[in-house]
Structure 1
Amino acid sequence: MPDGPAAVPGSRPAVARLPLLAGAAAALLAGLYGGLALLVPEAPAPAALAEQHGPLMALGFLGTLIGLERAVALRRPWGYAAPALSALGAAALAAGAEQAGRLALTAGGGWLVGIYLALLGRRLSRAAVIQLAGALAWYAGGLLWLGGRPVHELVVWFVAFHVLTIAGERLELAHVAFLRREAAGGLTAAAAVLGAGAACSVWAPGAGTRLAGAAMAAVAAWLAWHDVARRTVRGRGLPRYAAVCLLAGYGWLAVAGVLWAATGLRAGPYLYDAALHALFLGFVMSMVFGHAPVILPAVLRVRLPYRPVLYAPLALLHAAVAVRVAGDLAGAGAVRAAGGLLAEVALLMFAGCAVAVTRSRTRSPSGR
C-alpha cells in the first residue's frame, strides 16, 4: 500500500489503534470458531458464530483490517470510524444481534467509500478508482443484506470487495515498477466485468456468478503476468517471501474463478465450499500473510521483521486449501474437514509467528 505511512525506526507504537486491531482479531477468532462448528457439528459453539462465519471473516476481520489500513493512509481522525463500525458490527453478529451487526457492517463499508473519495481528491489514479469500486461493492452488498437478501446471494458482492481492493493495490505498485500505461487497461476491463457480474447477480444469480468467475480468472492472469512479484520472487528475504505469498494466491484466485465460472455456485454444497475457500483462504489470506510485514509497521508502528519461520504457516495454509478443495471435488466430507482444520491451525500459527518475531530483539539484514 504505497500511500500509507511508512514505519519510522524508533517511533513509538500507535497504542490508540490497538483496540481496532483487537476488534479485527476478535472477529477472526469468532469466525474461526464458527468455521470449526461447521466442520465439526459436535463442537460446542453458539449458533450465531456458525451462521455468521462468512460475514465475520470477510467483513468483520478483513473489512476491519482494510478499513484500518486505509484510515491510517488518510491521516484524518474521522477515517477511523470505518474500522470501528466494522469491528462493532462483527461483535454484534457474534452476540446474536444480527440486524445491528448488518447495519454497522454496512455503515463501515459506506464509511470506507468516503475514505476512498477523500484519497481520490488528493490524487486521482486508476488504481484508487478500482479500490473505490471494491468499497462500493461492500456497501451495495450490505444494503442488499439490510433489505433481507441472504448472505449466499451476496457472496459475489463481498468477493468483489476483496478482489478489487487487492487488485487496485497491486496495480498501484505495478505503476511504481514502471508498468506501461496501456497494460493497465486489461485489469480495468476485468474489474468492470467483475462489477457487472455482481450487479447481474441481483436478478440472475447464476449468470452473474459465472460472469464474475470469468472476471476473477482474468484478474488472476493479469496479476500473475504484470505484478512485480514475478521479479522479486528471485530475490531474498522479505521481498521473496511476499512474492511467494502473492503468486501462490493468484493461483488460487484462478482456481476459484474457474470454479465460479463453471458452476455458478449452484452445483451443490461441496463445489460451493471449494469455490469460496479457494478464494477466501487460498487467495485473500495469502495476501494477508504477504502484506502483514508491511501493514503492521504502518498501522501500529511496530516492526514485524522477516524471519524464515513465516514460511511454515504459509506452506501449511496452501496445503490445507489443497486438501480442502480436493475433499470437496471428491465429495469426501472427512477430507474437507481435515483441510478446514489445518487452515485454522495455519492462521493461528501465523498470528503466533507474527507476535513472536515482533517481540524478537534481533535484527535480520535479509529481512530489511
Structure 2
Amino acid sequence: MVVRHPHRLPLLALGMLALLTGLWAGLSRLGWDVSLPRPGFSSLHGPLMVSGFLGTLIGLERAVALGRPWAYAAPLLTGLGAVGLIVGVPLLAAQLLMLAGSLVLVAIFAAIIRRHPALYAFTMGGGAIVWALGNLLWCLGWPVFLVVFWWAAFLVVTIAGERLELARLQQVSGAAQAMFLLLLGILLTGLLLLGWSFDGGVRLFGLGLAGLALWLGRHDIARRTVKQTGLTRFIAICLLTGYVWLGISGLSAMWFGGMPVGPQYDATLHAFFIGFVFAMIFAHAPIIFPAVLGARMTYRPLFYAHVVLLQITLVVRLLGDAMGWSAGRQVGGLLNAVTLLLFLGNTVSALRSPPAQAGRVQTRAS
C-alpha cells in the first residue's frame, strides 16, 4: 500500500505504540501474569491509553483538518510523552510533554473557532481546554483516579461537539441546543466538585454522561442513516451502540459514586472508554484513517466482527465486575484487548493505495 502523506505515519505510529503498550499494562492491572519492564508500569495504563493514544490520534486528525504545519506539534508532543512513559524518563518530563501537546490542541481549536465561530467548534475547543486542565492537575500530583474523569470529559465533549456539527443537518431546535449546554454544564460542574467531594462529583458527572447519551441518541443523524446500507449503516450502528454504553457508564457513576479502585470503578470507566469511546473510533476509522494517510479504505462486512466482539467481551467483563467473578473480569478484559487488535488488523488490511487523481478526502463521518 502506498500512502499519499507518509510524513504523518510516524505520528500515527506513536499513537499506535501508546495503544499497544497501554493494552499490555492493562492486562497486568487485570491480574494476568505478563512481564513488565519495571515495577509500577501497570499504573501507566490510563495515561497511555487516553493522552498517549487517543490524545495523539485526535491531535493528528485536527492538525490534518486545520492544515497548518505548526499544528502537528500536538500529536508529536503527546506521542513523545507516551514514549517517555514507556522508556522510563522522569514522570514529570513525560507529563509536561503531554500537557504541552494538549495546549497545542487548544491553539488548534482557537484557530478553528476563528474560521467557524459556531457552537460545535466552541464545544470541541472546550473539550481541549478540559484535557489541558486535566493534564495540568496530573502534573501537579493529582492521582489518576481523579484525573481520569477530566480525561473522560475531554473525550465526551469533543465527540459530542463533532456530532453536534452533523446534527445541524437535522435542524436542531434552540431548546435542544439549550438542553445540550445544560448537560455540558452538569458534566463540568461534576468535574469541579471532584476535588472537594469525590463521591458527589462522580455522581453529578454520571448524570451529565447519562443525559448526553439520551441527547445524542435523540438528535444524532445516525438515527436516520442506520436505515441505509453499507458503510453508512455500519457507522450509524457503531454510534448508536456507543451511546448505549455511554448511558450505562453514566448510570453506573450515578449509582456507585466515587470509587477510586475496585470492580465498580472498573465497570464505570470501561463502559465509557471501551464501550463508548472505542465504538466512536470504530465508527470514524473508515473516514479518519484514509483522510490522515491519504489512502482509500474498502468497506467490508467483516468490520462487524470487531463491533460484535466488543459488545460481547465488554458484557462478560462487566458481569464479572457486577458478580464478583474475577475470572469473568479477567477473561473479558483480555478479550477486549484481542478485539482492539482485531480492529487494527481489519482496518489496516482494508486500506488501499489512493487513485492517481483522488479528490480530497473528507474527515467527517456521515
TM-score range, shorter chain: over 0.9
CA distance in 2, matches of 1:88, 1:360: 28
What are the superposed Cα offsets for residues 185-205 of structure 1, whole Å, 9 maximum, x if unpaired?
Answer: 211211121111111112222
Residues 267 and 21 (structure 1), Cα distance of their counterparts in 2 relative to 1, 3 Å cut: closer
What are the superposed Cα offsets for residues 305-325 of structure 1, whole Å, 9 maximum, x if unpaired?
Answer: 211000001111111111111
CA distance in 2, matches of 1:182, 1:136: 26
Aligned residues: 353
* 1:52 paired to 2:47: no
Determine if contact 1:48/1:93 at 8 Å carries over to the other structure: no
Deviation at 1:361, TM superposition (A): 10
Partner residue of 2:115 out of 110, 122, 140: 122
* 1:299 paired to 2:299: no
* 1:30 paired to 2:21: yes
Residues 330 and 12 (structure 1), Cα distance of their counterparts in 2 relative to 1, 3 Å cut: closer
What are the superposed Cα offsets for residues 191-246 of structure 1, whole Å, 9 maximum, x if unpaired?
Answer: 12111111111222211111111000000000001101111111100010001100
TM-score by length of 1: 0.93
| Aligned partner letter, 2:110 | L
User: What percent identity do the matched residue pairs reach?
Assistant: 46
Corresponding residue for 1:365?
none
Residues 171 and 233 (structure 1), Cα distance of their counterparts in 2 relative to 1, 3 Å cut: same
Corresponding residue for 1:259?
252
Deviation at 1:268, TM superposition (A): 5.3
Determine if contact 2:295/2:354 at 8 Å carries over to the other structure: no
* 1:247 paired to 2:246: no
* 1:73 paired to 2:65: yes
What are the superposed Cα offsets for residues 65-91 of structure 1, whole Å, 9 maximum, x if unpaired?
Answer: 000011111110010001111101111
- Residue 311 of structure 2 aligns to a residue in which SS? helix
Determine if contact 1:48/1:95 at 8 Å carries over to the other structure: no
Corresponding residue for 1:271?
264
Cα RMSD of the aligned pairs, angstroms, is: 1.8
- Residue 42 of structure 1 aligns to a residue in which SS? coil
Partner residue of 2:8 out of 12, 17, 21: 17
* 1:90 paired to 2:82: yes
Q: Where do residues 182-197 of structure 1 align in structure 2 (5 Å cutoff)?
A: 182-197=175-190
What are the superposed Cα offsets for residues 260-308 of structure 1, whole Å, 9 maximum, x if unpaired?
Answer: 1111232850100000000000000110000001101211111122110
Deviation at 1:12, TM superposition (A): 5.6
Corresponding residue for 2:217?
224
Determine if contact 1:265/1:271 at 8 Å carries over to the other structure: no
Partner residue of 1:180 out of 167, 173, 182: 173
Q: Which stretch of structure 1 is more off in the superposition, 294-303 or 77-86?
A: 294-303
What are the superposed Cα offsets for residues 139-171 of structure 1, whole Å, 9 maximum, x if unpaired?
Answer: 111111111111111121111000000000000
Determine if contact 1:31/1:57 at 8 Å carries over to the other structure: yes
Determine if contact 1:265/1:275 at 8 Å carries over to the other structure: no
Runs of 5+ in structure 2 lacking a partner?
Answer: 356-365
Determine if contact 1:60/1:87 at 8 Å carries over to the other structure: yes
CA distance in 2, matches of 1:243, 1:132: 25
Corresponding residue for 2:347?
354
Residues 350 and 41 (structure 1), Cα distance of their counterparts in 2 relative to 1, 3 Å cut: closer
Determine if contact 1:24/1:60 at 8 Å carries over to the other structure: yes
Determine if contact 1:323/1:335 at 8 Å carries over to the other structure: yes
TM-score by length of 2: 0.93
CA distance in 2, matches of 1:119, 1:57: 26
Deviation at 1:38, TM superposition (A): 1.5
Deviation at 1:360, TM superposition (A): 8.6
Partner residue of 1:334 out of 327, 338, 341: 327
| Aligned partner letter, 1:256 | S
Residues 278 and 12 (structure 1), Cα distance of their counterparts in 2 relative to 1, 3 Å cut: closer
Partner residue of 1:345 out of 318, 338, 341: 338
CA distance in 1, matches of 2:100, 2:244: 33
Q: Which stretch of structure 1 is more off in the superposition, 101-110 or 173-182?
A: 173-182
CA distance in 2, matches of 1:129, 1:16: 30
* 1:136 paired to 2:118: no
Q: Which stretch of structure 1 is more off in the superposition, 256-265 or 231-240?
A: 256-265
Deviation at 1:48, TM superposition (A): 4.9
- Residue 276 of structure 2 aligns to a residue in which SS? helix
Residues 15 and 268 (structure 1), Cα distance of their counterparts in 2 relative to 1, 3 Å cut: closer
* 1:236 paired to 2:262: no
Determine if contact 2:59/2:72 at 8 Å carries over to the other structure: yes
